[in-house]
Each structure stands twice: as C-alpha cells, then as structure tokens.
Structure 1
Amino acid sequence: MDRQNDLPDEHWPLILESTPTPMLVLKPDEAFTIAGVSNAYLKETLTVREEIIGKGLFDVFPDNPAVPEADATNNLRASLLYVAATKKSHTMAIQRYDVPDRQKGGFAFRYWNPVNAPVIGRDGRLLYILHRVENVTDYMLSQQANETLREQSRLLTAELSKSEAKVSRRDAALTEATSAFQQLTTDAQAWRLGEEKFRRVTDALPQMVWTARADGQLDYHNQHFYDFTGAPHRAAEGQEWKKFVHPDDLATAERAWAHSVATTEPYETMFRVRHRSGEYRWTLARAIVIRDNRAEILKWVGSNTDIHEKVLAEQELRDVNRRKDEFLAMLAHELRNPLAPIRAGAELLPEVSADPAQVNRVGTMIRRQIVHVMGLIDDLLEVSRVTKGVISLDRHKVDFRQVVDESVEQVRPLIEARKHRLSVDVPEEVVCVFGDRMRLVQILSNLLNNAAKYSPDGGRIEVTVKCLSGQAVTIVRDNGIGMEPQLLRTAFDLFQQGERTSERAEGGLGLGLALVKSLVEHHGGSVIASSAGRGKGSQLEVRLPLAQADPETVPAKHMAEQAPVEPKRLRVLLVDDNAEVADALGMALEVMGNAVSIEHDGPGALARAKTETFDVCLIDIGLPGMDGYELARHLRASPGSQGAVFVAHTGYGQEDDRKKSEAAGFAHHLVKPVGILDLQNVLNHSGH
C-alpha cells in the first residue's frame, strides 16, 4: 500500500488522545487489519499494543469457544462491511463479546456498545474505519439484576394479594359465623332453649360454642370444641374446662368469668386453649345470659373463636415497632456522639485562629468525626444493598487461610487496644473456597470486631478453621458478655444489638451480623450463633462450601492512580439551593485558587452562563423546580459552559444515582459531604 494510504504520524495523537473512549483504527482490507489503537482500548481489552498492531481484528479477538451461541464476530464483521460498502457510520446493538485474558488465560466476560465510522479522504476514498466501543458490562449486569428484582417484586405482590384475599374470606366467614351466633341466641331465647335444635345448629358453627348454668358451671360444648381439643365428650363440663387453658392465662380467665357470673355482665376475655396437636392457641371468649319472661337466667351461651394468627401478627407488629423505635433511638445516639465534638470544634475554631497548631488539631478532629458519621450512613446503605441481593460477587478460588490473616490484620488495632489474647488455629494445607475475597474478609472481620467489642478488656478470642464434610468451618469464640436465648433467636435480625454498657462504648447500629448472614448465604453457606448464657461468651460458626485446591492468586483491587496534575486556576459555576453549603464549598474552592460564581437555582445559573465562561459546573442534583439533570442539559447548550466539565454534588450516592448522573453527562459524582482533597483532585484532573 502506498504512502498516501498510511496514517500520517501527526494524526495519531489526535485519534488516540482526543477521545476518552476505547477506539481502534482499522484498515478497510479483507482482514480489517489493526492500524492504530488508543490506550483506553488496550486497557479495556487487556491487550498490548505491540501484540495487536498489524494483525487482523478477528485474529486478535475471536469468539469465546466456551460460549457456543456467541456470534459477536459475525455481527461486527457485518457492521464493518456495511461501513466499507456505504461509507456511512453504523451503531451496533449492545454485544456480548468476551476478550482473551493474557494473564489468567481463557476469556474475560464483557458487554460492549460499538460504533463503526468511516474515515474518508479528500478524494472520496475510504482510508480507515474507526471502531469505537464502550464497556457496558456493569450496566447489563445491573439491568439483569433489576429485572430479577422486578420479577421477585411481582411474585411478592401476587402472593400478598392472595394472602389479603384469604384474610378477607376468613373475616367474612367470621362475620357470618358471629351473625349466625347472634341470631342463634335470639332464637334460643324465643325457643326457651329447645336443646335439640340448638345443638344441631351449634355443631355446624366454626367456633367452639358452650353453655353454662346460672351458677357458672359449664354443661355443654359443641362438636367443634372436641374436634379442636381432641378431648372425649363431656370432658370439659363443670370446672373441667380449666384443664384446657394455658396455665399462664388461667387466673385471668377465672377472674373474668367469676365477675360475669356474679354481675351477669357480658363475658369477654382472651386466653390460650390447648389444641389436639399439643399447641396452645389464642382464642377470644365471649358469653351472654339468656333470660326468661320473668328476667330469670336460663343459660349462659358462649363461644371461643380461634384468633391465634391475628394475635401473632399483632405481636410481630409490636416487635417491629419496638425494634424500629430502639433503632431510631440508637441512631440518634450514634449521630450525637460525633456531632458533639464537631459542634465544639466549630465553636472553638475562632478562639484558636491565631494558633496554627491548634487549628490543625481541631480540624483533624472534625474531619475524623465526619468520617465516622459517613461510615454510619455507608453501613446502612451497604446492608440495604446486600439484603436486597443487589450486589455482585467477584468470585475466585480463595485460600481461606489468607482471608483469616487479612481479617485479623483489620481488627488487630481494636484487639490490641482492648488487650485481648487472640489465638488462631488454621490447617497447614490449603483451605480453598469459591468466593469474593473482599466480602469473605468482611464477614470474618465483622465477627472478630463483635468478639472484641463484646468482651471485657484482657479477654480471650479464638479463631479456628477446619474442613468437615466438604465444608470450610470457621469458628470465632470469645469469653465475653454472651447472649441470652431471646437475643440468640434474633441475633441476625437487622438493628439487633447486644446490651450497651459503660465499658462497651464503641457503639454501632447493630447491622454487623445481619450483613454477615446475607453475605454468607450469598456464598451458599450458613452461619449460626450459640452461647451458654449471659457472661459465658459467644460462638459464631460459619460454614462455606469447599472448592478444589490450587486457588488462584487473586490480586487485591486497587484504584487506578491518576497521574499528578499541576493545579490550575479554574472558573467554577457552583449551583446549590442550600446557601450555607454553597458558601462553605465556594470558600473552599476559592482557597484552592479558583474563581467561583454561586447560584441557588436553575434559572440563575443559566442567566450567569450567558454572561460568563466556566471551566467546571459543580451542580446539586436536588434543586427546586429545575433539577440538576435538566440544568446540566441546558448548560451544555449555553455558550459560557459548552466546554465545561460537569460535576454532580449530591446527597444521593447509590449505584442507580451514579448511573443517572453519568447518563445525564456528569463526568464526576461527588456525595455530600465531599472532602476538600477529593474535590481538589477532581478539579485538578478536569479536562485531562
């Protein structure tokens, strides 16, 4: 090929550095030979420039043989042939196209959003094809997870509708039975208690119906009572009915019945009756007197209605409300702890402003307490994501002994501060499990942290790992305050926490064991808690399925380090409806050497952008009237901010929020309260 068809040297920086997205430059020959490649493309596809330049595209990137249905190469070839034939751009649908993994072998799972565009010479000839891709793997996985959640929500809604219909039918049946019973008592008075007819009717009722003489001695039960209790006929007459009442409820039932017999007032109380299964079930007991024409008492007519499920549901609701109230009180306490020194520090700063050492000391204390508050908020969001199943696990074969080492290192400062004695017993051979290394460390460090917090100073903590029946069994045992039976039953519930004491002041929101349980179950394992009682220590046992030996070496994930950039004076448009937040952030930006313009709503920001030019637009998402997404769209069309870098500054920090801001064109997503160093780092790299 002649020199005219080669890519000129001065064009390489333009093509490879002017776009932040991964890109290939292809020759329009039969093999679609790779003529150039961006650094971003090399990073995303795990390739090296020297190994792919000059080679055919499909020789470098074949279909994954482990996925028989893979047809990405056919789709991509068809798109490239279309561009070559028509000299028009072509946007492909999202493709599943795995890439070879040079380091680990095999293929790395990927989804891409490709666009192919022609590069046409002045003479009209097709010189090259630009192949631009965007890695949308995380987006596709989140879409799949969201679809699963929607399906689960649909199923739960359907199940709830069925339950509501069932309850409605039972309520209707109970109303009908009560109406029939009331009619029965009216008829009984009119019949002078024609007993044969009365018994035939009461035997058909779904309630336990009974009668008693004027002196309170029971003389009849209908068939439903004997079916319910499994007792022989006439076994509950006289005072024998008391044998079927729960011992804890008997005194209450007797007092209420004695009062009604003495006063002839209607009888109504709740107590548990022994079912034929041996279970005691809650019933609502009611009775009224039937009188003759002379107002003399003929009979007491009563019933017991099974309300066991209703009572349990109400008890559960009370427990939920109690736990909610306890959690809110605990959250208020945990937030007040760091807020107290933050307030004191803020009030102290003007007094020590002349002493740089004191200013630095107070500032460090305030930053430390703010990090603590943010940690509490992150804990709440983390447990919400895990328990809802919206996390993805980066699973590999992992030697669990290394998980133990990393977990111990994380908790060691607390263990040493409390002067605990720690013993670790792990097998000499590899204990291989298949899981997410970071999440496994999170599980074990949570258990160790609890053991350290709930043990008195100088306590003993033991960690034992062994292999039993195809499982890796990890036991964390301490000699701390222990758990009573009631706490053991709810230890893994959200917001459940051991008793606070003045000696145990570390606090927390009671989320640790709930998070442990969810993460263990996501790994196909189980966790149980046991304790001999208060003051006798606790034991937590985690069981995970063993994997075959020879675990892969899973390198720790590190954030890609950005190259240092020389700070420069930037023109910043800051938009936040909270005046104090805007003023404080604007002050910080100006101290960093930037020129700052502050507005508190969308119209004001748009008016400012018509008269001034900005390098960075720092925008709060939750603005009144026009939100931050809409404002960003308008600002990108304004002359003063067309070329600006857009940064979202918001209190919403979940994954969906970040995706929304990215889709709206924001280059960065900062969650309030943002640290000055983080903000400075974003500004320094704006435009790079």
Structure 2
Amino acid sequence: MDGHLLPEQFKAIFEALPGAFLLLFPDPDFTIAGVSEEYLRATLRRRAEVVGRPVFQVFPDNPDTPEANSTHNLSRSLRRVVETHKTDVMAVQRYDVPNADGTGFEKRYWSPVNAPVFGRDGELLCIIHRVDNVTEYMSLLEEHARQRSLSERLSADNLKMEAEIVQRSRELDRLNDELRDANGELSEYARRAREEAVRKDEFLAMLAHELRNPLAAISSALQLWNVVPADEQRKANLLDICRRQVGNLTRLVDDLLEMSRIDRGAVELQRAPLDLRDVVEDAMHAARELFERRGLGVATRIAPGGFAAYGDAARLEQALSNLLTNAAKYSEPGGHVEVSLEPIRSGDAAWARIEVRDEGRGIPPDKLEAIFDMFVQVDVSLDRSRGGLGIGLALVRAIVELHGGRVAAWSKGLAYGSSFTIELPLTPQLVQQQREDRCLAPGATPLPQPSGSLRRVLIVEDNVDARDTLRDLLSASGYLVTAVDNGRDGLEKIINEAPDLAIVDVGLPGLDGFEVARRARTAIGNATRLVAFTGYNSPAVRAAALEAGFDMHVPKPCTAERLAEILRPPLDGPA
C-alpha cells in the first residue's frame, strides 16, 4: 500500500455517512486515513487533528482511570482483523474522550466493530472502525446497579433493564450481520463515487463550453468595435450583444450559486400562504417571450377547486420556470407545450400536481431515473446545441423537496416528448382564508367613499375568486363595478366606457395586462387610471408594469390600506 488516501469523491462520501466511522490503514500504527463527521462530533475533535496520525496517539487512554485498557483491547482487535481478514466485534469499551481544550477527559462508553476492506486483488486496503456511543445506556446500567441494593421495590426496573440488555444483545447481533455485508456496500459506494467523478468531469467540460460561447461573442464584439469604423447603430448592436452575453454568464453563475446554497443548506424559504394558480400564472408570464421566440404553442389547463399551499412563491415559480425553459429548449419550432394544474390525493392528504408536457426530443429510458441528478444531461453531443450545465432539473427537485413535495419525469423515449410533474401538499384550511385575503387582507382601514372623479371601476381578472370578491367588496362600498375575465374584453370596456379606474391582472389569457395597458394608453391617453394587479412582486415586473402605462403596481394579496390608496385621488407619480 502506498499510503495515499482514497479518491476525493469516495472520501467525501465516507465522511458524510451516517454513523461514527474511522478509516484506518493496516500499518503498525494504524494511521487514520479518514473520519466521518459524526465521529468528529462524538469525540470532540477536528479533522485536522485526526487524519494522518496514529489512532492511539490521537485517542489515548484516560490516565486518571487506572482500569482503562481500551487502547490495548482495540489494538488486539485490529491485529486480529489484519491476521484473519475477518470482521471483529468487540465488547462494550470504556474509552474516555479528551476535551477539545486539553483540560481533561469526558466519560464515554462505546460499542466498536472493526471490518476489513479489500481491493479487487484481495489485498487488505484498510479497516473500517465503527462505534456506537452507548454511554447513556451504560450509565443507566451503572445507576441501576447502585440503586438495586437500596430497595426491593426496584425489581420491576431490574426486569426492564434486563429486557433492554437482551434487546441490545439482539441489536448487536443484527449489527454484526449488517457489517458482514459492509464490503459489498462500500464497493457500491466506490462505484457511485467513480460515476460521480465522471459526471463532474463532464460538467467541467460543459462549463468550459458554456463559458467560452458568451466570452467569444463579447471578445469578438470588442475587437470589432476597435477595428471597424462603427456608426451609432453598429455600436448599439455591439453593446446589445455584450449585454445579452453578460446576461447569459450571469444566469450560469446564478444557477451554480443557487445549487451550492441548497447543497450547503443555506437556503431559507420565505414561506407564506399562497395559491398555486398564481405560481403557474407568474411562471407562464415569465416564459411567454421564450415560447414566442421559439415559435411554440402553449396551453394552460387549470382544474377547478382550491390550490392553497404554504411555501415560498418565488422559489416555486423558479422551479416551474426551469421546467418551462427545459420544455422550450428541447422542443422544435411549431411544437406544443401543455401546462396543467389539478388536485390529487396522496393517502388521506390533499395534494396538487403541476405537469409540463412537451412534444420535444424526449428522454432515453436509461436517463429517466437520473434526470434530476446534478450534472446529468440528455444532450451530450459534441455541438452542445441545447446548452446548459445540467443543474436546472436538480434545482427543481431540491426546491420542491424543500417544500415537502416530489418530482417525476416520464417519456416513451427519444422523439416522443417528455412529461415533468411537480407534486406539492395543499393546505385546505387556508382555502377559505386565502379566498378572502387574495383581494383584501384583514384590516380596519375603511375604503374611501365614491366621489365625482372616481366612481366607475372596471376589474379585469381571470381568477373567479379574486374577481368576485373584489367586485362585491367595491360594490358594497358604493362603487359602480364592471368585471370581465380576459384582456380583450377588458380593453374594449376601457376604450368604449373610459371607467375612472381599471384594476387589471397582469397574467391574463390571450391579451396580457401589459398589452392591455399599452393599447389603452394609445387609444384614450390618460382618461382612465390603470392599476396593475399581480401575484408577482419582483422589481422587474413592477418596472415592466410602469413602462407599459400602468399608474400603479399592486401585488396580491392586497391589504386594506393598499386598496384604500388605490381608491384615493391619484398621486403625482406612479406607485
């Protein structure tokens, strides 16, 4: 043996395994080759203090305990493994742990097992030293022994402890059986580590390709700027190229950082009551330009019923947007994508299923199981025409699982299209509350009374609950309210009737709210005050609303104070 550690990938897997493990070289000093995180926590040690040092130098016997002989017993067990090449199960050992500050020892009892690991040629590569911390159990035994002599009334406890001892003995027998299969399991871990290494190598190659493309475009644009005399239009075109490619680079880096944050557990969900219909609506709005650019038809089918959930709307929209982008990327111009939202049952619980179905390239059967893993891509051809780093679907799964949900992919094979589903638990008790809160959150702020300058109100909203609740609320306050469920009818009402105020949902079917605002401003100027009403509250959507001609952007759910502000005389500038 040359003394080198296992490959980095195998080492990372070993360190993250559940359980307290040491990986020891079978040299005379039994040098520590690796250590799991749980072992470090249990022994109050840092990795740098442990790896590469002899095990008995790092973990000596407690000098204040004369009867301590654990290092001797462990040494004999390890030598037996070296000599017999068989697993050795040790009796429970008293082995105190040195304090991190060097001031003494903490009392510990351990149940150790030492198992050999072999190479393909049968050579003993290393020894797995696994321990279970049974300090609490042994302390109970010691306390029981001390108190047994005090009173016969403890006989019942004595029987209980004996039963626990029998149970523990059975558990140790079971553990011994499991450890006999450790060689096979560790070999499987090694195989997976090798596959992970291959995927990471492929990912680095993809990353280099994806970075070079925008960098090449930026470099060429800058060279052209310096070499070729350029008029203002050519300069503007070159700047647009640079901006687009910088945007591509930014998206690549953002995806990498997002996946890193999720892997490190650094993502904090901003959970709140939400309606999954809004999530679908906002994701469809964000992807609409991409579908139009790709020449794809899109249909949305939302089943009737409540879709109240509790989660992070922005993250869920991000997950659905990734699926929509994936469908657009792998569909040919003229293709069709269908997005559906429907209620399902999972046992006795209410869930919702969001499905994105396309007629695109499809997925090979051997990739279906791993399609949501990091760095996995269907397109591994040399031209890399579809682009991407193979982390978009991994992000989808990570976000959905953080919400307690699940994802799945299905395809008949290449050229047969694909179907991706997101399933999320619903919160039925929030349905009625959400119907009330979508347009008016609880509050005591009274609504202004109708005035000569603001009496006639038009509501353009495709969600029946939001539309009816807001209409009834404004009607009860004395306003003359008209409500329609699509952009074309809304635009016709604005042009023909010029209401004092129009509250327009952004994500409308057919003609969206932005286009309604633009055409209304062209037709009647500022005769009607326009308010954008949407479940998406990003700065980009707010800026797009104001640019389209809206006077105000109001995120859902609308508070009483915000609704009162809408109904007051307009301010000097857009809100």
Q: After TM superposition, is the score higher than 0.5?
A: no
> Which structure exhibits the higher relative contact order, with contacts defined as CA atoms closer than 8 Å and separated by 6 or more residues?
2
State the TM-score bracket (shorter-chain normalisation).
Answer: 0.3 to 0.5
- When normalised by structure 1's length, the TM-score is 0.38
- When normalised by structure 2's length, the TM-score is 0.45
